[in-house]
Amino acid sequence: MWFWPAKTAHRIQRRQFAGLLRLIALAALVWFTTGRAQVGQNYFPSDPANLYDWRAALGNPSIGAFQRGAAEAGYKLFHLGFADQGGSIFKASYALVNLPRQLPYRLAVGGQLQFFTSPLFQEGQFRVNLSRRWNRYLAVGIGLALRNISYNQENFDLVDPNDPVFAGGTSLWQPDISIGAVLIPWEPVLIGIGLTHLNRPSVSLLNSDIRLAPQIHIGLSLRLGNLGIFSGGEYRRQDETSRPQGFGQWQNPGIGMLQIGLTRYDVFMRSRLRVQGGLSIGYGFAYPLSSLSGTSAGNHEVTLLYEFNRVRNLPELGLPPADWEERIPEMSRIDVVPQFYAAANVEALDIFEKQLVRQIDADIDPAELAKLTRFDVGVLDSSLHEEPFPYDLTPAAAPDSAHSDSVRYSRPYLGALQNLRRELDSTAAEVVLITPRTQRKRALNLSEILSSDAAGGREIKIARKQFRSVEDSLRYSQPVQPGQLAPEEDLMILRPRKVLFSIYRVLQNSAPAQWRLEIRNADDQLIFSKSPRFPEQTQLAWDWRDQHGRIIDPGFYRYYVAWEDRRGQERRSASRMIYARKLKRKISIKVSKRFQRPDGKADKVGIILNK
């Protein structure tokens, strides 16, 4: 048992459907050409299979899906009547526009307006066409029109003005529906079919049974480059009348178009000449071949066409000279050079410069001075911060047991505390007792003694130390040697102390083993340069000092990796920026046995309780 894939079966169904449409079109063409001929009237005949003639949409509402966007208007003057006498000059005009792919679902929209005038009646029609192109071989469309017929009552001779024919008025409006299809069974062959007056609109003011018969428009075209052969015509099955035609057409998008053809009753010529851009003008003439043609002296027509979004024709390419020789250009050489990339773990350096000024009273002996810590003499790093105290203060909780009574202190000590309270009352500064964890009971006693007795007086706060770093907490309790204390001292502190550069190789296998990290200042002066100790090293540290061991000045610096390639040329990686900023602070320290108010205004006073 054989199984067909689903996609293969779908293709076979499409081929069978296309073959069926071809047979139907060919059968309709044979049926049409074998019908009996009678005189038929058409103001602007056109072939429904001519893609280069926008009037084809008058008989085939589906062809606009295959055509380009354009607007066209035409005027026709012909002598309608029999060849002997009694003819009159009649006029007809039309205007149309075609806009493909302007609506959703790949719909094309077009509009046509036709108007015919004669001494006895006028006829007009406005129609909107909607067409859709399903694929590159098939399109279908529908036309919805509103038709008007108006009679000139005053021009009817020997007719009673009170004739009941005109009792309901002299004009009539009727809808008119048409459909059409375009099929391309083979690439150079195109079949167009249109059916107009599908709803048989009425044309009588009195009897609604007098209606227009459905009319079939069929065309078959064969295109061979700029030449085309067209055959087809119009057919009414009700009275079996037809108007076949055949013509040849030459067209060139840059020049224009020329048609020469033959119908059952006349020979015609139509032309179109491109003027500029998308603008073209046309002229047509038809000469009757039979007295039954309905025209006695032929007809003339002029058209005006404008094509939208017309693409200019490309210039023709000339042949090269006979002595021209083929030349193959040399391929450009791309030199792939190994690259480096450097990145620092920080982008900024903070340089803190401390100017310490110490004043020690003469009545302090060396034994008492040795009890001071490194914080007391102002060398603690964190004292560079803007806060008055070198550490964070957190509120201290009250001790679990009741604090000791104040009578336990000696009289001289209580007197000193009383003097201290009077000094604190004379300032508006906030007072904080800074105590370690083991001295909280003592801090509560001192806060009661030092607090103001007046209502709403100052309250002494209690806080414990919270250091910002482990190094600060270790240095806080370290004693200092009195002989090492200088009246003035300058300290320089770097944060961070070092910067670490990571070096990345873009081409790991071909990267050179010798390279160096260079740092330059804003004046492009070399500040630091260092090479790795071994080829596999990928990180280098820098202590913020130049080649002479001095700390760098504030400013911007750029760093990069430098190396030599295989040709001995100096190479550099992309440079990146790093900057240094400097903060200065002057600290005055006075060592005394008695509390003395500062010379300036103080915001906060800290009383530190040592162990």
pLDDT digits (tens, 9 = 90+) for 491-516: 788 888 899 999 988 776 666 778 89
Distances (CA, A) of 538 to 29, 334, 562: 86, 28, 14
Q: How far apart are CA 141 and CA 263, in angstroms?
A: 27
Q: Mind listing the pLDDT tens digit for each residue in 415-451?
A: 888 888 888 887 777 888 888 777 888 888 888 888 8
DSSP label at 383? G
Helix-helix angle 411-425:440-450, to 10 degrees: 60
Residue 418 amino acid letter: Q
* pLDDT grade for 239, boundaries at 50, 70 and 90: low
Write phi, then psi, for 66 (nearest 5 degrees).
-95, -10
Whether pLDDT at 463 is above 70: yes
Return the exposure string of 515-531: e unless at least 16 CB atoms fall within 10 Å of the residue's CB, then b: bebbbbbeeeeebbeee
Q: Which residues are within 8 A (CB) of 168 and not within 5 positions of it... i.e. 6 or more apart?
A: 205, 206
Question: In terms of DSSP H, where are the helices of 393-503?
Answer: 411-425, 440-450, 470-476
pLDDT at 165: 63
Distances (CA, A) of 58 to 142, 180, 334, 509: 11, 11, 63, 75
Quick check: bond before 366 cis, omega within 30? no
Whether pLDDT at 380 is above 70: no
- Note every long-range contact of 373-376, with CB atoms under 8 Å and residues 24 or more positions apart, other chains counting: 373/476, 373/477, 373/478, 373/479, 373/480, 373/610, 374/475, 374/476, 374/478, 374/479, 374/480, 375/475, 375/476, 376/480, 376/589, 376/591
The three state secondary structure string of 487-508 is CEEEEEEEECCCEEEEEEECCC
The hierarchical CATH code for the domain 19-157+165-307 is 2.40.160.60
pLDDT at 30: 39
Q: Mind listing the pLDDT tens digit for each residue in 330-365?
A: 766 655 666 788 999 999 998 888 888 888 888 888
CB 306 within 8 A of CB 274: no
pLDDT at 237: 63
Q: How far apart are CA 251 and CA 232, in angstroms?
A: 19
Q: Mind listing the pLDDT tens digit for each residue in 256-286?
A: 999 999 888 889 999 999 998 889 999 998 8
Whether pLDDT at 390 is above 60: no
Q: How far apart are CA 171 and CA 123, in angstroms?
A: 10
pLDDT at 156: 64
Q: Is the dihedral of CA 413, 418, 422, 427 positive or negative?
A: positive
Strands (E), 443-572: 461-466, 488-495, 499-505, 516-521, 526-530, 539-542, 555-564, 570-572
Element (H, E) at 578: strand 576-591
Q: What is 336-381+476-594's CATH topology?
A: Immunoglobulin-like (2.60.40)
pLDDT at 37: 30
* pLDDT grade for 220, boundaries at 50, 70 and 90: very high
CB 222 within 8 A of CB 245: no
336-381+476-594 matches 19-157+165-307 in CATH topology: no
Q: Which of 13-22, 383-392, 475-484 has the highest mean pLDDT?
A: 475-484
Q: How far apart are CA 589 and CA 493, in angstroms?
A: 19
Q: Mind listing the pLDDT tens digit for each residue in 116-163?
A: 887 777 888 899 999 998 888 899 999 999 988 887 767 665 556 666
pLDDT at 44: 73
pLDDT at 505: 84
Q: Mind listing the pLDDT tens digit for each residue in 318-338?
A: 777 777 777 777 766 655 666
DSSP label at 384? G
Question: Under DSSP, is residue 39 helix (H, G, I), strand (E, B) or coil?
Answer: coil
Tell me the domain boundaries of the chain.
Answer: 19-157+165-307, 336-381+476-594
Strands 539-542 and 499-505, by their bridges, are: antiparallel
pLDDT at 82: 46
pLDDT at 89: 67
* Closest among 588, 595, 514, 498 to 551, alpha carbons compared: 498
Q: Mind listing the pLDDT tens digit for each residue in 14-37?
A: 555 555 445 444 444 434 333 333
Mean per-residue pLDDT for 54-66?
A: 89
Q: Mind listing the pLDDT tens digit for each residue in 564-599?
A: 887 788 888 889 999 999 888 777 778 887 777 666
CB 281 within 8 A of CB 257: no
Q: Is the dihedral of CA 407, 409, 410, 414 positive or negative?
A: negative
pLDDT at 333: 61
Whether pLDDT at 523 is above 90: yes
Q: Which of 320-334, 463-477, 517-531 has the highest mean pLDDT?
A: 517-531
Q: Which residues are within 8 A (CB) of 200 and not within 5 positions of it... i.e. 6 or more apart?
A: 211, 212, 213, 214
